[in-house]
Amino acid sequence: MSLALPAGGQPIKWAVTSTRPSAKTTRPRRRQTARLQPAPGEDFWVFGYGSLMWHPGFPHLEVRPGRLHGYHRHFCVYSHVYRGTRRRPGLVLGLDQGGSCGGLAYRVPAAEAAETMDYLYEREMVTAVYLPKWVRIGTAEGPVRAATFVVDTDHEQYAGQLPPERIVDLILQGKGRSGPCLDYLENTVRHLHALGLRDRPLERLQRLVAARSSVTDT
């Protein structure tokens, strides 16, 4: 999905219709955290910072560019399912502590709340490497309270601060249920550009990956 904002950066309003393997962790497979519960009968928001920006997969009424403070987008999660395998892991994004992160806030209709939450938990919590959390997202129209998934730094799939060379290795080798890890990186950067958002660490990473690929191809 390619997004373009109208002049002035006003929110995009869409009427949208709906369109596991296990992993051993250092905790129980499903960490015992309270399930996020939207307020009954009210629309709620979901914040996307990676693949949810181009493939949300749930019905929504409105999309706003927004910024989360206190967390930053970082390739810090070993992927054993969607972009890699346990034997040949890839690396995907997580919300890690510190800094800030630009992304998209989706307004989900109240009638779709339960189904959307089920879908998000099924999608994001395959190996329980993320922690569901309500966060405050700043938007041009004012702040919203949104559901998102931050990385569990105690989980075995949390990669932490890897050297750039190792991140490149994992991105180039990773391929899983949703395709190559390289596609994931390129899609993220492309959609951030479409929104007028810059993520310079990701752009530098993309250049490093491209340079490595050109050397490999020669």
Q: Are 47 and 146 in contact (CB under 8 A)?
A: yes
pLDDT digits (tens, 9 = 90+) for 131-184: 999 999 999 999 999 999 999 999 999 999 999 999 999 999 999 999 999 999
Sign of CA pseudo-dihedral 25, 29, 32, 35: positive
Token representation of residue 25: 């962790």
Residue 104 makes CB contacts below 8 A (sequence gap 6+) with: 3, 47, 48, 52, 53, 63, 64, 65, 66, 195
Give the whole-angstrom CA distance, residue 177 versus residue 183. Answer: 12
Given a contact cutoff of 8 angstroms between Cβ atoms, the answer to whether 106 and 63 are in contact is yes
Task: Give me the catalytic one of 42, 112, 122, 124.
Answer: 124
Query: For domain 7-217, which CATH number applies: 3.90.1170.50, 3.40.50.720, 3.10.490.10, 3.40.190.10?
Result: 3.10.490.10
| Rounded average pLDDT over 26-36 | 59
- Using alpha carbons, select from 7, 124, 129, 14 the residue that is nearest to residue 62: 14
For this structure, is 124 an active site residue? yes
Q: pLDDT digit string (tens) for 80-120?
A: 999 999 999 999 999 999 999 999 999 999 999 999 999 99
pLDDT exceeds 60 at position 2: no
pLDDT of residue 101: 96
Q: Which residue has the higher pLDDT, 34 or 38?
A: 38
Who has greater pLDDT, 54 or 30? 54
* pLDDT value of residue 16: 36
C-alpha to C-alpha distances, 83 to 10, 30, 80, 114, 182, nearest whole angstrom:
33, 21, 7, 27, 9
**Domain limits of the chain?**
7-217
